[in-house]
Amino acid sequence: MTPNKPIKKIKLLAAAGALTVSFLFSGCSAIMDLGAKAPDMQPNAQSFKMYDSDQIDSMLIDVNGRTYAPYGVVKNSMSKSSLRDCLGYVDDDKNCRIYTLNEDPFDNYLIQKNVNGFMDPDMFWRDISTIEEDVFTPEYIQSQDYEEWSKSGAYSEMKSFKFYVTIDSDDVKEIIMDYTINGDVQATGGVRNADYSVIKKGEIFDLEIDEYSIYQKYDKNAPFNLEVEFSVLTEGGDTVKVDGMYKGTVVFGASENLTLSGNSKDGYKID
């Protein structure tokens, strides 16, 4: 059984190593402002040409060395804050722009949006190298069930390996982990309460290492060697290294249970 998780917490992730047609759509644009502004198009923006291909029965576009085909539309709504970068425009129409998505660090998806056409449908394109694969997909993307994508999967929660850490200390404000994957992928993550309050003794927090940590380095479906060192930010504002570390061969989707004990005076231990 998965342990209960706290309701209010903030996860902190900071990369320390090399981590980042046929127009048969119906409905209206579902991107909502919600106080956000779409990213500006750069003066030297590129025009992406749609073209026919023998690869699949669909129009294609080539963007940054990858080939994309139409995939779907906006499900319900999405904010303009989800638009990360404007890469250019389609077929010389500078109002019909291509954006990357903040919620898709892999850039498996792009969105085509007409910035001057409120009634024009927004369209998602998907990298055709992911045909017949399961890929991480933002929840606001809805498939249009095109035949070429019929054997392709999507999941909205990024695959991760988790530590469920039971807090047996009474002066911890944040738990931090520095980890190495297969000896050469290094990154830092952490978790704390949203209000920066001291974590209550007996609470269970989860620390996640997600598949983006190994993006373009290792197979996300294969086991990997993981080494993790922990530290804590104390109630007094000091960062203290924790005695004990984790070493093991793990896979995304698995988890381990750990307990953090000790205090800022006598030191901390995790096992």
Condensed to tens digits (0 to 9), the pLDDT of residues 242-263 reads 999 999 999 999 999 999 999 9
What pTM, to 2 d.p., does this model score? 0.74
Tell me if 99 sits within 8 A of 84, measured CB to CB: yes
The confidence score (pLDDT) of residue 173 equals 94
Residue 23 has pLDDT above 90, yes or no: no
Q: How many CB atoms lie within 10 A of CB 157?
A: 9
Tell me if 61 sits within 8 A of 93, measured CB to CB: no
Cα separation, 154 vs 131, whole angstroms: 11
Residue 267 has pLDDT above 70, yes or no: yes
Q: What are phi and psi of 238, to 5 degrees?
A: -90, 145
The residue ranking higher by pLDDT, 54 or 195, is: 195
Compute the C-alpha angle 207/211/217, nearest 5°.
130
Q: How confident is the model at residue 77 (pLDDT cuts 50, 70, 90)?
A: confident
Assign a CATH topology to domain 10-16+158-270.
Answer: Immunoglobulin-like (2.60.40)
Task: Give 108-127 pLDDT, tens digit per residue.
Answer: 999 999 888 656 789 999 99
Compute the C-alpha angle 241/247/248, nearest 5°.
155
Indicate the domain borders of the chain: 10-16+158-270, 33-155
The confidence score (pLDDT) of residue 57 equals 86
Residue % of the chain over a pLDDT of 70: 85
Question: Which residue in this structure is represented by tokens 């940590």?
Answer: 213
Cα separation, 82 vs 8, whole angstroms: 23
Residue 3 has pLDDT above 90, yes or no: no
Residue % of the chain over a pLDDT of 90: 70
Q: How confident is the model at residue 37 (pLDDT cuts 50, 70, 90)?
A: confident
